[in-house]
């Protein structure tokens, strides 16, 4: 299948909300590009969620610093500590975002293995899409979540199951179509 056919197929899968097949096509498309380019592409996708993370955690600068370093397409030196990555954040989407940062760092360190790098980049991108969807649905439609009491502490109930709204499904489609367009631009310019 050509790049254009793969992109058209991916777009169709996204419009049909066939997420699992669309995710497989994403990996296939990423494997057609140079590892350094897909790491930089993923960094751009993570930067979309960065302002949301910083809104909840303005004192935490490590994600911003990591993205600045990774945007160069080079691995981060193991001698640079980022203890903030080992912190648990309770804000909507934060866990998936921090995990995406770890995945991008891992991908950048394994650019000599294009398949592994593409796999980690795909995981990171899907994590940040998940973070964006979770934060959007929880803040815009809190009643669409089934909540469970937090039995360990007196903290507010935590969301456990998403009941869903058509608006959030449209949002998921919109952010994935944005991803399709961005990757299409990258592939056509390569």
What is the average pLDDT score of the chain?
87
pTM of the complete model: 0.86
Q: Measured between alpha carbons, how far apart are the two ends of the chain, in Å?
A: 17
Could you tell me if 113 and 76 are in contact, meaning their C-beta atoms sit under 8 angstroms apart?
A: no
Residue 62, CA distances (Å) to 22, 66, 107, 175 in order: 31, 6, 18, 25
Once rounded to an integer, what is the mean pLDDT over residues 152-156?
Answer: 61
In this structure, what DSSP letter does residue 81 have? -
Task: Give residue 175's domain range.
Answer: 3-189
Q: Is the pLDDT of residue 146 over 70?
A: no
Query: Structural domain tally of the chain?
Result: 1
Beta-bridged to residue 159, according to DSSP, are 147
Ordered DSSP codes for 85-154: GGS---STTHHHHHHHHHHHHHHHHTTTSHHHHHHHHHHHHHHHHHHHHHHHHHHH-GGGEEEE--TTSS
pLDDT tens sequence across 115-136: 999 999 999 999 999 999 888 8
């Amino acid at each position: 299948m050509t790049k254009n056919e793969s992109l058209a197929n991916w777009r169709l899968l996204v419009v049909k909300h066939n997420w699992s097949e669309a995710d497989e096509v994403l990996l296939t498309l990423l494997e057609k590009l140079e590892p350094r380019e897909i790491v930089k592409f993923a960094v751009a996708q993570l930067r979309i969620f960065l302002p949301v993370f910083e809104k909840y955690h303005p004192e935490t600068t490590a994600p911003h610093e990591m993205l600045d370093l990774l945007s160069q397409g080079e691995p981060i030196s193991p001698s640079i500590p980022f203890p903030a990555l080992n912190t648990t954040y309770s804000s909507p989407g934060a866990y998936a975002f921090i995990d995406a940062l770890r995945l991008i760092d891992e991908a950048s360190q394994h650019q000599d293995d294009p398949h592994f790098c593409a796999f980690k980049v795909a995981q990171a991108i899907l994590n940040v899409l998940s973070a964006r969807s979770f934060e959007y649905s929880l803040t815009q439609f809190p009643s669409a979540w089934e909540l469970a009491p937090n039995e360990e502490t007196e903290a507010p109930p935590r969301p456990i199951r998403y009941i869903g709204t058509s608006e959030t499904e449209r949002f998921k489609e919109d952010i994935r179509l944005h991803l399709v367009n961005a990757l299409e631009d990258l592939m056509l310019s390569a």
